[in-house]
Chain A
Amino acid sequence: MQLDVQRYARDTCVVLAVLGELDLAGAPRLRQSVVSETATGIRHLVLDLTAVDFIDSTGLGVVVGALRRLRAHDAELSVVCPEQRIRRVFEMCDLDRVFTLHETVDDAVSARESV
């Protein structure tokens, strides 16, 4: 399955729901979506990886890059990652110390609103 990125608004956030396999082939599609959102002056982006079937270090790199881009614009990034097989790849690279991995989009949105 090729990577697909679906965009929608939730409260004051923009959600990018990623579907498919996040590897070297799919990474440019997501990176471009993040760059486009950052350029609009967004304040909070949620990357929803619930429907990601596979992620490797290239995919993780896109998520790390998204955080860097958003922080450079004083914006925030939340990551939704309920699937253990995907979460485990974050953990093996210690990136669970960088990102709070939320179970649902609602969790990610409400966690930010409660800050």
Chain B
Amino acid sequence: MSSNARPVGSVEFAVPPMPEYLQFVRAIVGATAALDDRLQPGRVADVRLVVSEAATNAIRAQAAIQVTTPILVRCDLTGDRIVVEVADHGPGFDPSAVPALPEVETPERLRHESGLGVSLMRQLADSAELESGSDGTVVKFTFVVADA
């Protein structure tokens, strides 16, 4: 372990649940992740995409029940990993209840303009955790930073 030589930092902020703030969320979390110079530029883009998907889900969840409480975003550099967390005050979410999309080459698939975000997040993060209840959802993604 050589974490004492690694950047350790964290950023935590709240944003109104509005799409106009997504760029800001990506910029802050992306800049924080990029502090770790072991992270390849492509992986910084992955972190930006994952936090954007998570914040988008949070905005949609709160819009569904018209809750305007800010969404909380956190990004921690902990030495050998980057942890990104997004917390909302939406109605809760059961990932097992999300229906699978039709096969990509079938005409039925074109009726689905949403539903790709969860798949993207799972592909891009090294691990994902979700806690959800009637008072909101917290999603946490971990990106392992390998030594060059």
Instruction: Note all chain B residues with C-beta closer than 8 A to A62.
Output: 113
Bound state CA distance, A95 and B113, in angstroms?
12
Residue pair B23, A57 in contact (C-beta under 8 Å): no
Residue pair A21, B116 in contact (C-beta under 8 Å): no
Residue pair B53, A57 in contact (C-beta under 8 Å): yes
Instruction: Note all chain A residues with C-beta closer than 8 A to B105.
Output: 97-98
Residue pair A68, B20 in contact (C-beta under 8 Å): no
**Is B22 an interface position by the 8 A CB rule?**
yes
Residue pair A85, B110 in contact (C-beta under 8 Å): no
Residue pair B22, A24 in contact (C-beta under 8 Å): yes
Given the known inter-chain contacts A58-B114, A64-B110, A68-B110, please indicate yes or no for A23 contacting B52, CB distance below 8 A: yes
**Is B89 an interface position by the 8 A CB rule?**
no
**Is A60 an interface position by the 8 A CB rule?**
yes
Bound state CA distance, A104 and B102, in angstroms?
30
9-residue interface stretch from B92-100, B117-125, B139-147:
B117-125
Residue pair A85, B56 in contact (C-beta under 8 Å): no
Instruction: Note all chain A residues with C-beta closer than 8 A to B117.
Output: 56-58
Which residues between 99 and 137 of chain B lie within 8 Å of chain A, taking CB atoms?
104-105, 109-117, 119-120, 123-124
Residue pair A98, B104 in contact (C-beta under 8 Å): yes
Residue pair B116, A25 in contact (C-beta under 8 Å): no
What 0/1 readout, one digit per residue, does chain A (58-73) give for beta carbons within 8 Å of chain B? 1011101101100100
**Is A115 an interface position by the 8 A CB rule?**
no
Give me 14 A-to-B residue pairs in the complex whose CB atoms sit less than 8 angstroms apart, sorted by A's number.
A21-B22, A23-B23, A24-B59, A25-B19, A57-B56, A57-B117, A57-B120, A58-B117, A61-B114, A64-B112, A64-B113, A67-B110, A92-B119, A95-B104
Question: B-side interface residues toward A, CB under 8 Å?
Answer: 19-20, 22-23, 26, 42, 45, 48-49, 52-53, 56, 59-60, 104-105, 109-117, 119-120, 123-124
Question: A-side interface residues toward B, CB under 8 Å?
Answer: 1, 21, 23-25, 54, 56-58, 60-62, 64-65, 67-68, 71, 85, 89, 92-95, 97-98
